[in-house]
Chains A and B, each alone.
Chain A
Amino acid sequence: MPDTSHNPVPSGHPFCRRGRSTEGLIKAFFGGNAALTIVILVLIILFLLREGVGFFPEYRTELQNFRKSGLEFVDIARKDLTAHEQMGSLLNRAYFAQVNSNCREEMQRLEEATAIVNYLGEATAPAHDALVQVTDAESNSPPTPELLQKLSAQYRKRLADALSGRLGKGFPPTPHLSRTEQQLLCDQIAARDPLSTDDPAFANELQASLAAKRELSAAPLIAFRDAIDAFQSSSSALDVLVSETSDTVKATKEAAVLHGIQVRKRQTLLDAARTAKPDLRSQLEADIAAAVTTEPVDFTAAMAPVLARIPQFKEANAAMSAGLTEVSEKLPLSLSDEKADRYLKAFRAATPAMAAETADTVGLLEGWRADVPVGIGMTISGFISGRDWITGGEWQDIYGILPLFIGSLMISIIALAIAIPFGVGAAIYTNQLAGPRQQRFVKPTIEFLQAIPSVVLGFVGIAVLGTLLQEVSTLDSLSWIPGFPIQQRLNMFTAGCLLGLMAIPTIFTLSEDAINNVPAAFAEASDALGASKLQTIFRVIVPAAISGILAAVLLGLGRVIGETMVVLLVAGNRIQIPDFTDGIGTVFQPAHTLTGIIAQELGEVPFGSVHYRALFVVGILLFVIVLAINWTAQRLLRRFRISQH
């Protein structure tokens, strides 16, 4: 039988296809949309890579310069100095906490008196300002007596109102001042000349009594004070040395950078001259001749005077070590005030580390070589495992993403710790336990959370959650919770809470889907065996949906890691690896994140600079992390679907 299937339908025949071109057009249109989307995605990746990849060689050159000009050398010594300063400040805090602990009553009395003075001052401010204005010596015409009288009367009236507590927020509470003392203070202010801003005599008295009390309580601590002063001054030699040598090396570095810029400029001009028109060429050639005005820097010669001071560094280092040993012996064993004692204990705990660090320094200084090249591997590992992210300084920009990465990670963990129980729990409730009416209410309501713009959540976090948490944390009954009272209003926990809130709808919706997709036959079989509702849920339904739930959690994590606005507003933005010695309380420290740093700094960096490129590398890293998370989630989901059929 001959194959006729390829013979065209004769035109004019009713079966002949019409409008073939429209169909092709529609296909091309939709296909084009899909293709364009994919092309844009590829372009974004390429762009990210192009901007980011240049970072490592450039950063390497910077680090090379950092070493050659000796900045690194000075940094070795400076590290001790910083540590010493921190130790000194710990001691100072212990000292002042101890001194103030004895004067709490006086401080509160003074505070309350000041509050009254301020309240009255604010209440009478309009009348007072008017009086000041008219009596101003510079003004053209002296005020008429009537005007003065009128304004004074106004002032008196407002003052009287304020004294009876009728203005503003009302009279401030004064639990530590007696009724007579309060009356005395008010009388003194009432008697004060309207134009005077002097503190009333009673306030001055309180101040004097506080000062006296301070002196009194400082007296037994005089040995402690002396020990602190001696400790602090033990670093003065190093301080001078570091500041002098850092001036030298900074000058070297700046000269080298300037020379580098000039060389680059000449190169650009040379390139331009090669293709320029003849009439421009002479001008360009003149520019080229004038481009480089500085000599190339002789790093070895520049570094020689600094290296020559190594013996001095040694001496300064020894002085500091001695200072540390000495102060450790002289410190009191413990302090009666709890806060002061905590600072003292922190000092003691940090002493061995500080001693060890100081001891290494001489060896490091002597072993330091300017000519050891900085490898690209070192640059990369320094970027990934670097503990500092220092930018915008005069000294040297350091790019280490560890603090940012840890910040992002901790905030995500907190967010998930909050979002998983709520999201999955709500999904189980909605799907398994709620009646149809509750279902109709709960599902859209939780999904509605997603509609809140993250910036709005951000200011809810700042204005409500942060303040609320901090106030709650000062309650005495809650002081057993690690990290309470919270020192910083904006911290990882606040950010984690809000991000958790943002992840709940994602986790809820997808978990609910996963649970809903578990065949009813499983639940029916379990029911028929006499299982209770909870047994059915936790032994049959949740295990059957577990990979779907995991995928939901991962997608929630992807959302949390990539979120920017909330963390930028609420996480506190301190670029530092959190101090994990606080245990669980670590979560109440501020942190900065991978996303936050890009949002914060990208707008301010010069286009194409090393800093700019560093931010792109952070962006690539984020992209890779989120990609990996989403990919894993997709795979889990696929496995889940297969296991269902």
Chain B
Amino acid sequence: MVSDSVQPAIPAIEIENLRFSYGTKEVIHGVSLSIPANQITAFIGPSGCGKSTLLRCLNRINDRIPGAAITGGSIRIGGIDISRPDLDLQVLRRRVGMVFQKWNPFPKSIYDNIAYGLRIHGETNRKALDEKVEHSLRVVALWDDVKDRLKTSAFGLSGGQQQRLCIARTIAAKPDIILLDEPCSALDPLSTLKVEELLLELRNDYTIVIVTHNLAQASRCSDQTALFYLGELIEYGNTSQMFQAPREKRTEDYITGAFG
């Protein structure tokens, strides 16, 4: 049901007829969509519609759950089907970063949190580390707040700051794609605004996929929107078009609050 009104940008992720199961229970029933590069794509839909599961397929983080598996179809990133069992997950996850719903900095210092991703990929040069940490923190507009306490625990930051730290940690590893799983659902409106501004800035350098519950957020900061319901893609298309003139009846019902 891929809309032909998708902007002609180069597709970064191509999902074809994807099926996904937890054990014997199938939760995604043949979804196909193409996510363009350097844009923000929002996944929306009521709880349990499979939007988070689909997002977590994109970096195979679902593999952590025993019994969870892609049972059909394919996901192609950069031309490679990432659902193959022999894929090097470390390389994939380096290219596809992820920010979680609940901020989860490591119990380490602010500096070490950012440097962690660099270090595990073999960066040992002190100066290079310093530069990259500073750059990442500047990107998320956290540098001025924390530059004097880089060596203190990351737990000392506020919730919004911790979430931005997690974004900085993700972009420090230089991914091509950033996945965000309801990144603002536990943040206050002001912090949410800051994260949204940040996403709009990041759009120039990264392909961003964001799952959100918040329809206003989707309409504010996404270029494309995909609506899911019960494991199926209902409608996918340009955000402004979808919010103003939905093609499907169920889309209209959902965005006007008739269900969900």
Residues of A within 8 A of B (CB): 436, 519, 521-532, 535, 539-540, 543-544, 643
Contacts A436-B66, A529-B93; is A521 near B100 (CB within 8 Å)? yes
The smallest C-beta distance from A439 to any residue of chain B, in angstroms, reads 12
The verdict on A530 contacting B91 (CB below 8 Å), with A525-B104, A535-B120, A539-B120 known, is yes
Q: Are B102 and A521 in contact (CB under 8 A)?
A: yes
Q: How far is the CA of A300 from the CA of B59 in the complex (A)?
A: 94
Which of B28-36, B166-174, B241-249 lies at the interface? Answer: B166-174
Interface residues of B in 94-120 (CB under 8 A from A): 94, 97-98, 100, 102, 104-108, 116-117, 119-120
Closest residue of A by beta carbon distance from B103: A521
Which size bracket describes the interface of B in this complex? 20 to 34
Which residue numbers of B lie inside 8 Å of A, CB to CB?
59, 61, 64, 66, 89-94, 97-98, 100, 102, 104-108, 116-117, 119-121, 166, 169-170, 173
Cβ A525 vs Cβ B100 within 8 A: yes
- In the bound complex, CA of A544 to CA of B153 (Å): 12
A540 adjacent to B93 (CB under 8 Å): no
B104 neighbours in A (Cβ, 8 Å): 519, 521-522, 524-525
Q: How far is the CB of A533 from chain B (nearest CB, A)?
A: 10
Per the bound structure, the CA–CA distance linking A642 and B89 in Å amounts to 34
* Residue of B whose beta carbon sits closest to that of A435: B66
* B97/A529 in contact, CB under 8 A: yes
Known: A436-B66, A525-B166, A527-B61. A532 touches B107 (CB 8 A): no
Question: Closest residue to A522 on the B side, CB-wise?
Answer: B106
Q: Is B61 in contact with A528, judged by CB distance below 8 angstroms?
A: yes
A523 CB, min distance to chain B CBs, angstroms: 8
Which A residues are in CB contact (< 8 Å) with B89?
A: 530
Distance between Cα atoms of A535 and B106 in the complex (Å): 13
B90 and A530 within 8 A (CB): yes
Residue of B nearest to A531 (CB): B120
Distance in Å from the Cβ of A419 to the closest Cβ of chain B? 26
| Across-interface contacts of B93 in A (CB, < 8 A) | 527-530
CB distance from A621 to the nearest CB of B (A): 38
When A and B form their complex, which 5 residue pairs have the shortest distance between CB atoms, in order from nearest?
A521-B104, A530-B94, A530-B93, A528-B98, A529-B117
Name the residue on B nearest A529 (C-beta).
Answer: B117
Residues of A within 8 A of B102 (CB): 521
Which residues from B are CB-within-8-Å of A523? 64
Alpha-carbon gap, A335 to B233, bound state (A): 93
Query: Using Cβ atoms and an 8 Å threshold, which residues of chain B touch A529?
Result: 93-94, 97, 116-117, 120, 169-170, 173
Chain B nearest CB: distance from A541 CB in Å?
Answer: 10
Q: A436-B66, A524-B100 are in contact. Are A530 and B106 (CB under 8 A)?
A: no
Smallest CB-CB separation from B95: which chain A residue?
A530
A540 to B116, CA, bound (A): 9
A157 to B71, CA, bound (A): 82
Our pick among B106, B117, B173 for the contact of A544 (Cβ within 8 Å) is: B106
Find A530's partner among B64, B107, B108, B117 (CB 8 Å cutoff).
Answer: B117
What are 6 of the A-B contact pairs (CB < 8 Å)?
Answer: A524-B104, A529-B117, A529-B170, A530-B90, A531-B117, A531-B120
Q: How far is the CB of B110 from chain A (nearest CB, A)?
A: 15
- Would B66 and A530 count as touching, CB distance under 8 A? no
Q: Smallest distance from the beta carbon of A137 to chain B beta carbons, Å?
A: 88
**Residue on A nearest B92 in the bound complex, by CB:** A530
B69 to chain A, nearest CB (A): 16
- Bound: A523/B61 CA distance, A: 11
Question: Which one of A524, A527, A535, A544 lies within 8 Å of B107 (CB-CB)?
Answer: A544
Chain A residues contacting B108 (CB-CB under 8 Å) are 543
A525 to B107, CA, bound (A): 12
Q: How far in angstroms is the closest Cβ of chain A from B35?
A: 18
Q: A235 → chain B, closest Cβ, in Å?
A: 67
